[in-house]
A and B are shown apart, each in its own frame.
Chain A
Amino acid sequence: EVQLVESGGGLVKPGGSLRLSCAASGFTLSYAWMSWVRQAPGKGLEWVGRMRSKTDGGTTDYAAPVKGRFTISRDDSKNTLYLQMNSLKIEDTAVYYCAYRPFWGQGTLVTVSS
């Protein structure tokens, strides 16, 4: 059974950093294209970025609002995907989901506030 479990959310000040984790089970992360999606309070879904599978180069793409500040990486030994978020802004406040095909995690809340 495929499961995705996000963790690492919390309260951080503007300009700060946070690393989110997405622990995967039921499939091998390195063979998957993985995405991060976020949802600000009361707002719609917004794609954040993705990592290609190892066989497709393992490269990453990012949405314009986070490019240069967020980085997606993967630890194959832990079957875990990461989202490193730097230079956080108030508008980054959202629930962050990782997604693989039809499978989504439960999300983790990131609050950026002074």
Chain B
Amino acid sequence: DIQMTQSPSSLSASVGDRVTIICRASQGIGNDLGWYQQKPGKAPQRLIYAASSLQSGVPSRFSGSGSGTEFTLTISSLQPEDFATYYCLQHNTLWTFGQGTKVEIK
């Protein structure tokens, strides 16, 4: 099974900050990775697919990079509506989610 290690598990940041979240895969997955945002009581919403492609309708302050085993989600300038939990998801072999990163207000 492919394991996804996501870090950090939580972070505190201010509006306007640049935020980076990392996911590492236990083996190479090419670019078969997506990033999701989840707010309390809501279903996850996909932000990024194929590691670096922006989902339609998602603000351009979100970006993804990486391939193989290391991936990054970057929020260039954190906005109030971005405080949420973020998950990576690999779909190269079955599906595996990262443990999640809760982004909180500093």
Contacting residues, chain A, for B97 (C-beta < 8 A): 37, 44-47
Q: How many residues of A contact B (CB 8 A)?
A: 16
Give the contacting residue for B99; candidates A44, A102, A105, A107; CB below 8 A. Answer: A44
CB 8 Å contact bits of A41-66 with B (1 = contact, 0 = none): 00011110010000000000101100
Interface size class of B (residues with CB under 8 A): 10 to 19
A44 to B36, alpha carbons, bound, how many Å?
Answer: 12
Give the contacting residue for B95; candidates A50, A97, A105, A107; CB below 8 A. Answer: A50
Q: Is the beta-carbon distance between B94 and A61 smaller than 8 angstroms?
A: yes
Q: Is the beta-carbon distance between A104 and B43 smaller than 8 angstroms?
A: yes
Give the contacting residue for A102; candidates B1, B49, B94; CB below 8 A. Answer: B49
Nearest-neighbor residue (CB-CB) of B85 within chain A = A44
Q: Is the beta-carbon distance between B95 and A44 smaller than 8 angstroms?
A: no
For residue B87, CB closer than 8 A to chain A, the reply is yes
Given contacts A45-B100, A107-B43, 5 further A-B contacts (CB under 8 A): A46-B97, A47-B96, A50-B95, A102-B55, A106-B43
